[in-house]
Amino acid sequence: MIDEELLNYCEQNSGEEDALLQLIRRQTNLKVLKPRMLSGHLQGKMLELFVKMTGGKNVLEIGTFTGYASIFLARGLASKGKLTTIDVNEELEEMVRGFFNQSGLMDKIDYRIGNALEVIPTLTEPLDFVFIDADKRNYVNYFDLVVDKMKPGGLILADNILWSGKVLAKNRKKLDRDTAAILAYNEKVNADQRVENVILPIRDGIMLARKL
């Protein structure tokens, strides 16, 4: 969605991708299907800073994948903050726990394997920050489950909201279910009176919603 040289410039001037993050990126590309799902360094640093701006006491990530974004989220936490991160793919669990152990942040990370639709209702503490980056067809359901758990001023970020440009009819041959789900999410959040929102054209697009 942006010129590659400009993207490289932005990443080079947005903090350093340290050795652990480089390792996660390499191992994801070597060993995991669909490595393109990995959050990039620019996006990760943005997540870290947003967590810090909210106070970072109670953060939820829906869709851990290989833990790249999780590390940024955990680094943004306050001293006694906690990241709960949920993923359905148990085959990646050993790899991801290994990365979390190397990060030195394992005491701040509650990594759960399971269905987020079932896990989220069990969370009782008010949320400061939520990052949604999982199955697109449940984006609306995830939003409905978390929005009333948010503290005033809390942030909900949803990834892939431009869906490789397919939110525009001219960029798709037909309207598939995932694209329809993204369109429905964007329309829902934009109309929801509980939040104020803006779409950030970073990577594949991020919807930023702030709880009123």
pLDDT in tens, 148-195: 999 999 999 999 999 999 999 999 999 999 999 999 999 999 999 999
Q: How many CB atoms lie within 10 A of CB 17?
A: 18
Look up the CATH number of the domain holding residue 142: 3.40.50.150
pLDDT tens column, 85-115: 999 999 999 999 999 999 999 999 999 999 9
Confidence of residue 3 (pLDDT cuts 50, 70, 90): confident
What are 7's two structure tokens? Answer: 């993207």
Identify the CA nearest to 126 among candidates 74, 157, 81, 159: 81
pLDDT for residue 1: 64
* Calpha distance 128→95 (Å, rounded): 28
Structural contact between residues 86 and 61, judged by C-beta atoms closer than 8 angstroms: yes
How many angstroms separate the most distant Cα atoms in the chain?
49
Can you tell me the mean pLDDT for 74-81?
97
DSSP-derived 3-state class of residue 3: coil
Can you read off the two tokens belonging to residue 67?
A: 């833990």
Domain count of the chain? 1
Nearest alpha carbon to residue 62 among 167, 147, 133:
133
Average pLDDT, the chain: 96
Q: Is the pTM of this model over 0.85?
A: yes
pLDDT in tens, 46-64: 999 999 999 999 999 999 9
Alpha carbon distance 98, 81 (integer Å): 21
- Above 70 in pLDDT, residue 44? yes
